[in-house]
Structure 1
Amino acid sequence: MSEIQRVHSTDRMSRIVKHNGTVYLCGQTAGDASWDIGKQTEECLKKVKGLLEEAGSGMDRMLSVTIYIRDMKDFAAMNSVWDAWVRELPKPARACVEARMARPEILVEMTVVAAAND
């Protein structure tokens, strides 16, 4: 049975879980809810990049990304930031759904599954 590694765990969740060469990230949101959808998307992607690197993976190893967006009116603006970030990367499978967020000022949240480098 392979080991499950949990990193940055709290009583509620772990920010990173690694198992069988796969990295799972919990939902990432922007640090400042006053930002617009573009800035919140950029900050989510920066967090994803940092966590993937910490887990021994990278943006080029993303397998699947689920993007939760508060309002589909922001879909094009979010996609313009996303497209710039992934332009030179292998494209992961992706879903984007409109969702009610934990707080109304959160405009976007991302969960990621990636292959580990090891």
Structure 2
Amino acid sequence: FLSGIGPRQVGSKEIPGITFDANRKVIAYDIKVQTAAVIASVKRILEDAGSSLDRVIDIQVFLTNMKDDFPGYNEVYNAAFKDIRPTRTTVEVGALPTPIAVEFKVIARP
């Protein structure tokens, strides 16, 4: 069981796919890059625990902008899980911790 997996790079404060202004305010983000980073983190965590993406059975996804971000997120998600097809729920939320646009909660078999 994994919860709160966002796109932040492990061991760093860097968040792939985000452009900040001089005051560290988000001025743009790329949902495809953020989604790919989340999936890469999920894969690494599962493999470190002796599991893998193909053992995922359920995913809950939280997006901060469903209307604009769903198509790009869904494209990256479908490419990563094209042969697996776990159950999935995707919901829009008002905000996520730190300036991220996507977060996963994952259940996988050991």
- TM-score band, normalised by shorter chain: 0.7 to 0.9
* Count of residue pairs brought into register by the alignment: 92
Mapped contact 2:64–2:96 kept (Cα < 8 A): no
Runs (4 or more) in structure 1 with deviation over 4 Å come to none
Q: Secondary structure at the match of 2:39?
A: helix
- C-alpha deviation, 1:68, in angstroms: 0.2
Q: 1:27 to 1:104 in 2, by over 3 A?
A: closer
State the percentage of identical aligned residues: 33
More strand by share: 1
| RMSD of Structure 2 on Structure 1 (CA) | 1.4
Instruction: Map 1:1-118 to 2 at 5 A.
Output: 24-31=1-8, 32=15, 34=18, 35-72=29-66, 73-87=68-82, 89-103=83-97, 105-116=99-110
- Tell me, which stretches of 5 or more residues in structure 2 are unaligned? 9-14, 19-28
- Give, in whole Å, the separation in 2 of the partners of 1:90 and 1:102: 27
- Output the amino acid matched with 2:71: A
Query: What is the SS of the residue equivalent to 1:26?
Result: strand
Normalised TM-score (structure 2): 0.78
Output the TM-score relative to the length of structure 1: 0.73
Question: 1:54-99 CA deviation, whole Å, 9 max, x = no partner?
Answer: 1111000001000000001210110010111112x32100000001
Structure 1 residues without counterparts, runs of 5 or longer: 1-23
